[in-house]
């Protein structure tokens, strides 16, 4: 399993959000570097953002969720075309799970387990 994972739940439907495109970046100084990308599965999860066994290093990371395309595919008008979550890794070697609770007009996130 990747050291960084995510899970997207569509709270307006009470279901996992399938096929949400996601990009993981390392952010340093004003630059960013893409580390991984993918889309959520039928359970709303993206388990392989980084190669299995690759530890994360301390620093700032960004997960960008392409939520506008997800809602547009269902014919839903949404306010946020994308959601970017910046988070800080302080301890190398830990697992970081960053869920996103999503609806067309709002979102919430937290550090999961």
Strand partners, 40: none
Handedness of CA 37, 67, 41, 102 (dihedral sign): positive
* Contact between 71 and 78 (Cβ < 8 Å): yes
Within 13 Å and on the Cβ side, how many CA atoms surround 113?
0
Q: Which residues are annotated as a binding site for substrate?
A: 7, 45, 110
Annotated binding site: 7, 45, 110
Cα-only R_g, the chain: 14
Tokens at 101, concatenated: 């609770």
């Amino acid at each position: 399993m990747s050291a960084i994972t995510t899970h997207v739940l569509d709270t307006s439907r009470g279901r996992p959000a399938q096929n949400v495109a996601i990009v993981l970046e390392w952010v340093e100084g004003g630059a960013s570097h893409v580390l991984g990308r993918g889309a959520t599965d039928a359970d709303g999860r993206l388990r392989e953002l980084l190669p299995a066994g690759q530890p994360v290093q301390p620093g700032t990371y960004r997960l960008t969720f392409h939520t506008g395309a997800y809602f547009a595919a269902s014919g839903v008008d949404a306010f946020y075309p994308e959601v970017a979550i910046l988070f800080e890794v302080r301890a190398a070697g830990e697992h970081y799970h960053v869920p996103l609770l999503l609806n067309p007009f709002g979102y919430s996130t937290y550090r999961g387990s």
